[in-house]
Amino acid sequence: MNIKVCGITQLKQLQQLDKLNIDYAGFIFFKGSPRYVVDKISKDELSNADFDIKKVGVFVNADYDEIMKQVDDYSLDIVQLHGDESPELCEEISENIEVIKAFRMSNDYKQDIDELVSEYDEVCDYYLFDTAAPSNSPKGGEVPTLYGGTGEKFDWKQLSKARIEKPFFLSGGIGMEDAAKVKGFKHPDFFGVDINSRFEKEPGVKDLALVMQFKMALRPPTPKGE
């Protein structure tokens, strides 16, 4: 199973994740995030890093020119679009680089997932399903839209009955305690798991021992007799 560790802000931790054979590392290029990478890892450091781990740039409602500039500056391997990006923008970007399109999932079961993703079927390479922010404030006030990072899980059963027909990542509030649940989740297009805040010592600083434990917990059981 593929593992993506998102919100990396230290080059040393990227190197350590590479040594742990983690598959994907996410770098957030959204200024509203406490894990905003631009002022923490320089473009020269990241573009010159010779690692096997795939570098994923995470963007929220950025325009084409901004995204492609960061792709070039940081030598990104994949772009993750985590906002309200149009299929047209996805298509334009996908002509140059692989695209992960993220969708925010609520637990009201009112979403038709296959309808939700249908416009993006031909214009991206992967999907990612994350948890939507709560729609109402406890005090009744307006809540700003949160593009991930809620630390909460949505009900994965919603995905089980959807066709989807594209490799996808599960995301949203996944922690060490969810390893068995992740292993037990079944869907023919389930490609990987995206982890972030529940594997941190502080925003942008990962607990790599916990990441390693999670990776080990996801390993298939060794057949008897081996």
**pLDDT at site 44:** 96
Question: Based on the structure, what is the number of domains in the chain?
Answer: 1
Note whether residue 94 is domain-resident: yes
Distance CA 192, CA 166 (A): 12
In a domain, 118, yes or no: yes
Please state, rounded to an integer, the average pLDDT across all residues of the chain: 91
Neighbouring C-beta atoms of residue 128, cutoff 10 Å? 28
Res 106: pLDDT: 84
In a domain, 207, yes or no: yes
Residue 143 has pLDDT above 70, yes or no: no
> What are the tokens at 121?
């079927």
200: in domain: yes
In this predicted model, what pLDDT tens digit does every residue of 152-171 receive, in sequence order? 899 999 998 899 999 999 99
The predicted-structure confidence for 68-100, as pLDDT tens digits, reads as follows 999 999 999 999 999 999 999 999 999 999 999
Res 149: pLDDT = 52
Residue 134, pLDDT > 70, answer no
Q: What is the extent of the structural domain holding 28?
A: 2-217
For residue 225, is it within any domain?
no
Q: Is residue 159 part of a domain?
A: yes
CATH number for the domain that contains residue 9: 3.20.20.70
Q: Which residue has the higher pLDDT, 147 or 115?
A: 115
**168 falls within a domain:** yes
